[in-house]
Amino acid sequence: MFRHFGLVSVLLTFAVSVLAAQDKPEATPQFDVRAHYTKYEYRIPMRDGVRLFTAVYVPKDASPERLYPFLMERTPYSIAPYGEESYPRQLGPSEEYEKAGYIFVMQDVRGRYMSEGTWREMTPHLDHPQSKNDVDESTDAHDTIDWLLKHVPDNNGRVGIWGISYLGFYTAASIIDSHPAIKAASPQAPVTDLYMNDDAYHNGAFMLAANFDFYAFFTPQPKPAPPPRYPNRVDFGTEDGYQFFLNMGPLANADRLYFKGRNPLWNDQVYHTTYDNYWKVRSLPSHLRNIHCAVLTVGGWFDAEDLQGPFNVFRAVGQNNPGVYDGIVMGPWVHGGWYEFQGRSLGRVNFDADNSAYFHSNIEFPFFEKYLKGGGQPTLPKAYMFETGTNVWRQYSAWPPSGAEKRTLYFHADGKLSFNPPTATGNAYDEYVSDPDRPVPFIDYTSLGVPQEYMASDQRFASRRTDVLVYQTEPLEEDVTLAGPVSPKLHVSTSGTDSDWVVKLIDVYPPEYPEAEPAKRKRETDVPPPLDSMSGYQQLVRGEPMRGKFRHSFEKPVPFTPGKVEQVDFTMPDVNHTFRRGHRIMIQVQSSWFPLVDRNPQTFVDIPNAKPSDFQKATEHVFRSATEASGVEVEVLPAK
């Protein structure tokens, strides 16, 4: 949600430093869009009279003898450049589409930029509209397609729709009660439920740094207008995001000091701390019904923003719409990385090949060719999944794979971890002191925002802290492949009345692990900086927070009773990762992850309105006895 990976965003510049973590492809000669396409601009009327600004790019060789399908994007981030003489550099998901020929359609959604009407955050879907004034993204898409079929000549009567991030939401929302002409849709990194582990909250914990960045520039618009020349930005006064947010103090200070009441969207995110009706009416999965087109959902294993969304769409479409093709692709990418990057590496972790080119040429392009033109690959598997660790694309007939077995990695004394249940008796536990004035950082370097490299970054800095518990296996004697969700199951107590429980699944590389690129020795004129080494690298595979007061319900939080042992269970997004022979599996447990996640005062209060005095140290216990075992449930594939 937090960045537009569409084709023509004028707001992309703010994210350059965030995106730099994943490899940038070398420049290649651009396809000449202007030479092959003619641009038209329309204000398409909706059933309630609102007009949506739409750009249409038609192949110059289109004719009654040469018909083309529509390929549509709908965006809240602007379809600039505006004007029929101004063209973007690229029209489709990849150059293959422009060369093959499509009628490309790009639309400013209702209430954004040049479109009329009122914009609403994740437009609530109306299951039973009663009048022409009852509109949502499904009706707007339907009316747009109706108009296009009648007014744009030389089309073949078929429509495809795609989009990444917030555009992925609009893609999925547009195919509910599908227009008959929609034959194929690809929601990519879609936002599906802002509270339930998408952009705003993860297990009740507020994702502070990313939301602060996004709502600093994404504000309501009073009337149709092109993008501002200089988007709003916050002057951090530092490059150290950790220190900036720590100095900001309680969450209420964000609006008081920086937003100053100018962005109600920020306050909506911050002050709806429980899963109330504000979030429920915006939740998309339960409405994904009456879909009559093929759906290929796409995501990245290292998506820091909308990792859960692809699984939500995939499962809901499959459950609610029998008979349609419902497939999922997960690759080694950050948010939208298949569009921006090659997917060869992420930070210091390598994936060996141009996985984005593979995806476009072998999966996505054949999908649209098949359903919009009758060509392309005849069949696609249910799940096309990149297996990290081995760096291999796998195909499955179901996800999670039917052969996966649920097993639990249990915590033991002396920081040991194994699939064997603990046998300890009595009051066996490990403890640490969590201090909200000295929270555990989520990265070990200075940065503003959320550098997406963190999703695979080295965790050695955290394992050395006294407020982080570490459990690890012995070196593995054979490969262990996990495929499916990761579910912590903890027995804990706290001396406070609320606490967060952050659990991280980590791949520990062996001491003899080879460097990706051996350092080139040269004569230095001064003392060089230290060389990074992959020896003993602790790669984050999956990590999530759980705000303890929501352990029973996200609607009705309840405090902890100090010292009382309670069970805290939650589920993290899926993985498909192989821990290689000689590696170790590690679990880390901590109670802060800052400023990725806002600070929990560790007292049972309304956190957005917490006072400085509410922030208290707490002693945390994680139990590991036979009767109060703690661990992480995973799904393990049989050894190959």
Q: 176 by DSSP, 3-state: which?
A: coil
E strands in 374-454: 383-387, 392-396, 405-411, 417-418, 429-434
Give pLDDT tens digits for 9-50: 333 333 333 333 444 445 556 789 999 999 999 999 999 999
Residues 6 or more apart from 118 whose CB is under 8 A from it? 110, 111
pLDDT (0 to 100) of residue 28: 59
456 φ/ψ angles, rounded to the nearest 5 degrees: -135, 20
pLDDT (0 to 100) of residue 517: 59
Give pLDDT tens digits for 469-519: 999 999 999 999 999 999 999 999 999 999 999 999 999 999 999 876 544
Q: Is the pLDDT of residue 2 over 50?
A: no
Q: What is the DSSP letter of 62?
A: -
Q: How far apart are CA 152 and CA 144, in angstroms?
A: 11
Q: How far apart are CA 335 and CA 532, in angstroms?
A: 25
Instruction: Report the mean per-residue pLDDT for the chain.
Output: 93
Could you tell me the pLDDT band of residue 1, with boundaries at 50, 70 and 90? Answer: low
In this structure, is the dihedral angle defined by the CA atoms of residues 65, 66, 69 and 72, taken in order, positive or negative? Answer: negative
Residues 6 or more apart from 111 whose CB is under 8 A from it? 117, 118, 119, 120, 221
Q: Is the pLDDT of residue 233 over 90?
A: no
Give pLDDT tens digits for 346-377: 999 999 999 999 999 999 999 999 999 997 66
Q: Is the pLDDT of residue 4 over 80?
A: no
Domain ranges in the chain are 12-193+282-396, 405-513+532-636
pLDDT (0 to 100) of residue 15: 36
Q: Which residues pair with 562 in a beta bridge?
A: none
Q: 160 by DSSP, 3-state: which?
A: strand
Give pLDDT tens digits for 289-337: 999 999 999 999 999 999 999 999 999 999 999 999 999 999 999 999 9
Residues 6 or more apart from 126 whose CB is under 8 A from it? 134, 135, 136, 139
Q: What is the DSSP letter of 132?
A: T
pLDDT (0 to 100) of residue 12: 37
Q: What is the mean pLDDT of residues 439-449?
A: 95
In CATH, which superfamily holds the domain spanning 405-513+532-636?
Answer: Galactose-binding domain-like (2.60.120.260)
Residues 6 or more apart from 521 whose CB is under 8 A from it? none
Residues 196 and 308: beta-carbon distance below 8 Å: yes
Concatenated DSSP letters of 608-621: GG--GGG---EEEE
Q: What is the mean pLDDT of residues 180-188?
A: 98
pLDDT (0 to 100) of residue 19: 37
Q: How many Cβ atoms are within 10 Å of 62's Cβ, its own excluded?
A: 18
Could you tell me the pLDDT band of residue 227, with boundaries at 50, 70 and 90? Answer: confident
Give pLDDT tens digits for 387-427: 999 999 999 999 999 999 999 999 999 999 999 999 999 89
Q: How far apart are CA 8 and CA 83, in angstroms?
A: 13
pLDDT (0 to 100) of residue 377: 65
pLDDT (0 to 100) of residue 527: 85
Q: How far apart are CA 546 and CA 568, in angstroms?
A: 8
Q: What is the mean pLDDT of residues 544-559?
A: 98
**Which two structure tokens, joined as six digits, stand for 335?**
């948010």
Q: How far apart are CA 354 and CA 356, in angstroms?
A: 6
pLDDT (0 to 100) of residue 530: 80
Give pLDDT tens digits for 450-472: 999 999 999 999 999 999 999 99
pLDDT (0 to 100) of residue 32: 93
Could you tell me the pLDDT band of residue 594, with boundaries at 50, 70 and 90? Answer: very high
- Of 606, 630, 345, 391, nearest to 489 by C-alpha is 630
Region 12-193+282-396: CATH code: 3.40.50.1820
pLDDT (0 to 100) of residue 224: 84
Could you tell me the pLDDT band of residue 531, with boundaries at 50, 70 and 90? Answer: confident
Could you tell me the pLDDT band of residue 6, with boundaries at 50, 70 and 90? Answer: very low
Secondary structure of the chain: what % helix, strand, coil (to 5)? Answer: 20, 25, 50
pLDDT (0 to 100) of residue 515: 78
